[in-house]
Chain A
Amino acid sequence: MSVLVYTESEQGKFKKTAFEVASYAKAVATQLGTTVTAVALNVDDTSVLGNYGVDKVLSIKNAALEKFNANGYAEAIKQAAEKEGTKVVVVSSSANSKYLAPLLAVGLNAGYASNVIEAPTSTSPFTVKRPAFTNKAFETLQINTDIKIVGVSNNSFGIVEDTGSASAEDFSPSISNLGVTVESVDKATDKVTIADADIVVSGGRGLKGPENWGMIEELADVLGAATACSKPVSDLGWRPHGEHVGQTGKPVASNLYIAIGISGAIQHLAGINASKVKVVINTDPEAPFFKAADYGVVGDAFEVVPQLIEKLKTFKAQQ
C-alpha cells in the first residue's frame, strides 16, 4: 500500500514537477511508514527518481499515450493504484494534472485536494492545507475517503534529494477510451513556461505597447524566467492570452515574481499572491502593488529595466 505518485514527463524526460511531487510523496510515505511507487509514462530512464525518494517505478510504454490524454492517463494511474493497493495518490498542480485528477478521483472514488502547499498536518484523519478564496485565506481540508488524491501546488514543497534507488517494473494498463484526440499543439518549446518557472517577469500597460516587450524578454532570458503580463495587456492583444496572469488568467506560484508597469489590480494580485517574493517596478508610488510587494523600485521602467539587465548580466557572470 505504497504512496503512488504520478511523475510528469515530456519527450521522454521528467519535468521538474516530477521531482517535487516525488519529494512530497516521500514525505507522506515517511509519515505513513510505507514506500513510494511512481507511475512514469513513456520515460526512457526512470532511475533518477530514486534521488527523490521513489522506491519503485511502474514504467508504462504506450504509443497511444505519447501525447497527453486526460482519460487515458487517469485510467493508467487508476490501474496502477489498484495494482499497488494505494491509499494516497500524489499529483502535481500543472494544467495536465488538474485535468486528469478529477477523472481519477471518480475512477477511484477518492476525495481530491488540489493546490496543497504542505505535507499533511495529520494522516489520521488525513488533513492538508491549501489556499482558498484566491489566496486570501488558507483552508485546512480533511479527506474522508479510503483513497486520497493530493494535488501539490508547484514550488510549494520544494525538491528534496534522497539517497535511495528506484527499481523499474514494466506496467501495461489496458486503455480503451481516449475520448479526446489532439489535432495540433501550438507551443513555444524553447521558452520557460509560467507553470514551470521559478521566476516570472511580467509586464503591464505601463510598457505602453507590444514593441517594448524586448526588454521584458531580455530580463527574463538573463534570469531564466518565464514572461507574463497583466489582463489589460492580453485584452489589448499586445501579448497572448496564455501569458495573462490573474484571477481569470493563469495562477503564478513562482519563487520570484517581477511586475513591471503593473499597478496591481485586485484580480491581478489574486493570481500572483502564491508567489514567494514579489518585486514591483512602477513610476506611480501610489500603485496598489507597492502594498503587496516585498521589494519595490519607484521609477521609469524604460530607465530601470535596461540598467537592471546589465547589472544582472554582470552579477550572473560573477556567480
Chain B
Amino acid sequence: MKILVCISHVPDTTSKINFTDGDTKFDTNGVQFVINPNDEFGLTRAMWFKEKQGAHVTVVNVGGAETEPTLRKALAIGADAAIRVNTPASDGFSVAKQIANVAKEGAYDLVIAGRESIDYNGGMVPGMIAGLIQANFVNNCINLDVDGTSVKAIREIDGGKETVSTSLPLVIGGQKGLVEESDLRIPNMRGIMMARQKPLTVLEPIETSTETSSVSFEKPAPKGAIKLVSPDNLDELINLLHNEAKVI
C-alpha cells in the first residue's frame, strides 16, 4: 500500500500571533513551526501501516524551502520519502490541487491529511483532495483498518461516532483517536541521522487559480477584567448570567 501523508507546517500552539504589512501578512518572526497536530496523528497511523502491513509512506507539503525542517522531522519519525511542492500555501483549494496532482501522479492508495490545520483552520484540504482525485473520503476519522482494498473506519460525528465501510483509493481527514497521543513519536537520534539520507524531492507547482485570498487580519479586542463572584454568593452569578450576559 502506498500512503501519502499531508504535512502542514504550522506555528506552534504557544506562538504569539502578529501581523505585518498593514495587518495583511502573518509575522513569522520568532515563531517556532511544527507538524500540524492533526497531521501528527495521521503520520503515526501511517507508521503503524508501514510496520504491520509493509506500507510505503511518503510525506508531502506545499510550501517554500523554509518548510523543509518540518518534512525532515516527518522523515526522522519514519516516513520513507518526502515531497515539497515549491509554492507558498496561499489558500486551501490551491493547496488541495497541488496535493491532488501529487497523489494522482504517484497513484497512492491512501492519502492521510489532518482534518484541519491549526493556522487557517479551513478544514477543507482533505475533502477537496478526495473530490479532485475522485477517491472515497472519510472525515473526522478516529480509527482506520485496511484489509486489501477494503476499509473499515470510525468517524466522530456530533454527539457520537459511526462505523463506516469503504474501499481504496481513500482520503481521510484524520484527528486524535487515529492513534493515542501517548503513541505519537518523537524523532530519535538514529531517525534524525537516517532522515538525512532519505529522498526529499522538490516539485514545481502546477498552475492553479486562487479561489480565496486573505485581505487582512485583526486580533480580538482586549478582554475586559473577569468578574469574580464569592462562592457564598452564587445568586449573584445567576443574576449576572441572566441580566448582564443574558445567556440563561
Contacts and interface: CB of A to CB of B under 8 A. Distances in A.
Contacts of B229: 295-297
B237 A308 contact: yes
Contacts of B248: 199, 223, 256, 312, 315
Given A241-B142, A241-B156, A295-B227, A248 B176 contact: yes
Contacts of B182: 235
Contact of A105 (B124, B230, B247): B124
Nearest to B126: A102
B138 to A, nearest CB: 6
B28 interface: no
B158 A95 contact: yes
Contact of B215 (A106, A107, A142, A315): A142
A228 B93 CA distance: 33
B121 A114 contact: yes
Contacts of B159: 187-189, 191, 193-196, 242
Q: Which of B14, B17, B142 has the most CB of A within 10 A?
A: B17
Contacts, number: 265
What bracket does the count of chain A residues touching chain B fall in?
A: 35 or more
Interface stretch (B73-81, B162-170, B188-196): B162-170
Chain B binding surface SS class? mixed
Interface in B148-182: 152, 156-166, 173, 175-177, 180-182
A240 B25 CA distance: 39
B160 A182 contact: no
B140 interface: yes
24 contacts: A70-B137, A71-B137, A100-B127, A102-B96, A103-B128, A103-B131, A112-B124, A135-B220, A137-B217, A137-B219, A142-B214, A180-B137, A181-B164, A185-B161, A186-B162, A193-B159, A242-B156, A248-B175, A266-B14, A290-B226, A290-B228, A292-B223, A294-B226, A299-B231
Nearest to B213: A142
Interface size on B, as a range, is: 35 or more
A145 B211 contact: yes
A311 B239 CA distance: 11
A228 to B, nearest CB: 12
Given A114-B121, A223-B248, A242-B161, A304 B231 contact: yes
A196 B191 CA distance: 44
A51 interface: no
A296 B228 contact: yes
Contact of B212 (A111, A138, A290): A111
Nearest to B114: A248
B87 interface: no
Nearest to A107: B131
A173 interface: no
A183 B213 contact: no
Contacts of B118: 133-134, 247, 270
Nearest to A304: B231
Given A111-B211, A295-B240, A187 B120 contact: no
Q: Which 10 A-B pairs have the closest CB atoms?
A: A102-B127, A106-B131, A187-B160, A299-B231, A193-B159, A111-B211, A195-B158, A256-B247, A99-B139, A102-B124
